[in-house]
A and B are shown apart, each in its own frame.
Chain A
């Protein structure tokens, strides 16, 4: 019945006209003004609390202001110095590398967990709850707890087991400290990605698996040819949202290494924040502007990619 009703509709009118027709008609219905009213508070708040301060910040990035008092315009000087500042460039290098690593670790582990927790196993709900716990604990608390773990029990354990390289806390090793940050950040971020994957896996129709298993597909084959293609939109969202979040890493690094040892794990946001706290406002506003442009680019890429794919 339904097919017979639908067919003439799409068949009789060219699809393009069918789409633009209702859209044009919808352009000036009376409900529009009401919708705008609904938007107004959000737009006003966003403008007042985000757009205006951002504009002010960008304005100050062309000055030598320290956040208050007298200042002069210095043109693009802050930007010029910024791009030749090894400290800043190192912060960008570290943050990008750390974000890429973390996003990979988080997605692989989260997908594995989601696959496990959506399959027919015992105590599924209880396990799901347990795995979500890290998500609700404050990042700074997690960081301090892990700082203790990395500083005391782990080296002691390594000593009794005779694992030489790990006898000293990896937090004080400039070459390895970043690993601890990846691990702790991933531990905290996995639940959220896992929840999104779980939701994604539940959208895959069961009959596909049934049909494929009748055709003799192994579980592995089912994963690569059915599950993954069907949840690719979720993978994309998790990757991009995760990457964007990790670029803003702050709390966990402050709690674990405070940017150290030396400046090995100093992130972009730490540099920006130090500018306001320590009287280098204009310079770090220039840094923040660059950082904003980078995240904006990522957001645009995300919008473009997910426009088609995320509609699962």
Chain B
């Protein structure tokens, strides 16, 4: 009896000792970053198609930091808000930068990276894109990483068959559509079932080619609670004409477009069912899956009679940020510095069809995207309408309703009223 009890006592002491040692190891791990307890660094990136690419990059980084790093690669962006709410955000974010992301920076949830920004050599026009959304005063909250350029995708073979040139004005564009239609070719493939494709394609291209989107939203935000359908800047006032033109363009879509989605569109365009397709470069990889030799070209949608007005739609496909609440900010910033090295960033953009964001970034290697390189170089680009309206307003659905035949004027009025209501609270 006595022996067994002593044994259990020893056992208990041993367990406690082991626990204590573990706790100590954990503590030193937190403080020193060296030893058995290594800090866990969560790297969040939002591109499912780049998982293996970033996986390899992280392996390279691990090799540079042997043994002192527990690096977790996450692509779960749906719990991002929840992560911030629970004070448990990722340590380094590498994510699409848009208005949704900007709200994290606006509320001061992202740390100041101004020292990194000085070394990162970001092209000024690209940095301007960051500042088109609400920022946190006195901070550089995000470092742009990769930019996507989007414009009308067209089938070069179909254009050549009908002796068509890339249109440079709005009326030329309509002529191209008419010629194709008379020849029995569907000019445009639309995927109206998926509201986001309408917002990012038809709407963004039409409005972005017609008005200065950044200026419009900065003035609209400046109105604050005075915004509304009858204000000096409003969706009703400024979007009406571009969207009327958009409806004309949309009328060249294939029959039954209302019940087709993104997947249908990639498939149909890859097999030459239509001459044009309003999608971004992310669709190129999908099109290649069906038809690796699809003869795709890219041109910006002309919306005026002046060829100089043509612009391409860009978005900061990836931007880097470190939350204020990051549990391992130091390894996170080391990883950030690693990722923005030109010899790491440039091959990434080459592999994923992105445009570089540094002032000295090399041009794209993709033959299709070369068509719009000039616009990127001259900063003739805009960020789309679809990334400037808060998602709490169901604007993508409104745009879908407009294309499906709902009254344009009243829908824009609803959009204005939603915007004003949001500004009032």
Q: B199: CB under 8 A from chain A?
A: no
Q: Are B406 and A274 in contact (CB under 8 A)?
A: no
Q: A69: CB under 8 A from chain B?
A: yes
Q: B6: CB under 8 A from chain A?
A: no
The residues in B between 392 and 407 inclusive whose CB is less than 8 angstroms from any CB of A are 392-394, 397-398, 400-401, 404, 406
Q: Shortest beta-carbon distance, A205 to chain B, in Å? A: 53
How far is it, in angstroms, between the C-alpha of A260 and the C-alpha of B404 when the chains are bound? 11
Name the segment of B102-110, B175-183, B328-336 touching the other chain. Answer: B102-110
Pick 24 A–B contacts, CB within 8 A, sort by A. A66-B107, A68-B84, A77-B425, A87-B393, A151-B193, A155-B256, A168-B259, A169-B258, A169-B259, A172-B192, A172-B258, A174-B404, A259-B397, A260-B193, A260-B401, A261-B401, A262-B401, A262-B404, A262-B411, A266-B397, A277-B81, A278-B390, A278-B392, A279-B392
Q: Shortest beta-carbon distance, A133 to chain B, in Å? A: 27
Q: Are B103 and A66 in contact (CB under 8 A)?
A: yes
How far is it, in angstroms, between the C-alpha of A168 and the C-alpha of B103 when the chains are bound? 40
Query: C-beta contact mask, B75-94 vs A, less than 8 Å → 1, else 0?
Result: 00010011011010000000
Partner among B81, B107, B193, B421 whose Cβ is within 8 Å of the Cβ of A172: B193
Using a Cβ–Cβ cut-off of 8 Å, how many residues does chain B contribute to the interface with A?
A: 37
Residue on A nearest B261 in the bound complex, by CB? A151
Q: A171: CB under 8 A from chain B?
A: yes
Residue on A nearest B394 in the bound complex, by CB? A263
Q: Are B259 and A260 in contact (CB under 8 A)?
A: no
Q: B100: CB under 8 A from chain A?
A: yes
How far is it, in angstroms, between the C-alpha of A123 and the C-alpha of B411 when the chains are bound? 55
Q: Are B417 and A86 in contact (CB under 8 A)?
A: yes
How far is it, in angstroms, between the C-alpha of A261 and the C-alpha of B411 when the chains are bound? 13
Q: B424: CB under 8 A from chain A?
A: yes
Q: A276: CB under 8 A from chain B?
A: yes
Q: Are A260 and B100 in contact (CB under 8 A)?
A: no
Q: B414: CB under 8 A from chain A?
A: yes
Interface size class of A (residues with CB under 8 A): 35 or more
Residues of B contacting A258 with CB < 8 Å? 195
Among B78, B398, B425: residue with most chain A CB under 10 A? B425
Q: Are B400 and A262 in contact (CB under 8 A)?
A: yes
Partner among B81, B192, B259 whose Cβ is within 8 Å of the Cβ of A68: B81
Q: B139: CB under 8 A from chain A?
A: no
Q: Are B421 and A279 in contact (CB under 8 A)?
A: no
Query: C-beta contact mask, A268-296 vs B, less than 8 Å → 1, else 0?
Result: 00000011111110011000000000000
Given A81-B424, A278-B392, also A69-B109 (CB < 8 A): yes
Q: A6: CB under 8 A from chain B?
A: no
Q: Are B391 and A278 in contact (CB under 8 A)?
A: yes
Q: A85: CB under 8 A from chain B?
A: yes
Partner among B100, B109, B193, B398 whose Cβ is within 8 Å of the Cβ of A263: B398
Partner among B84, B256, B406, B414 whose Cβ is within 8 Å of the Cβ of A174: B406
Q: B418: CB under 8 A from chain A?
A: yes
- Known pairs A68-B109, A151-B259. 18 more at Cβ < 8 A? A67-B82, A70-B108, A81-B421, A81-B425, A84-B421, A85-B421, A86-B417, A87-B414, A168-B259, A169-B258, A171-B259, A260-B195, A274-B391, A274-B394, A277-B81, A278-B391, A278-B392, A279-B391
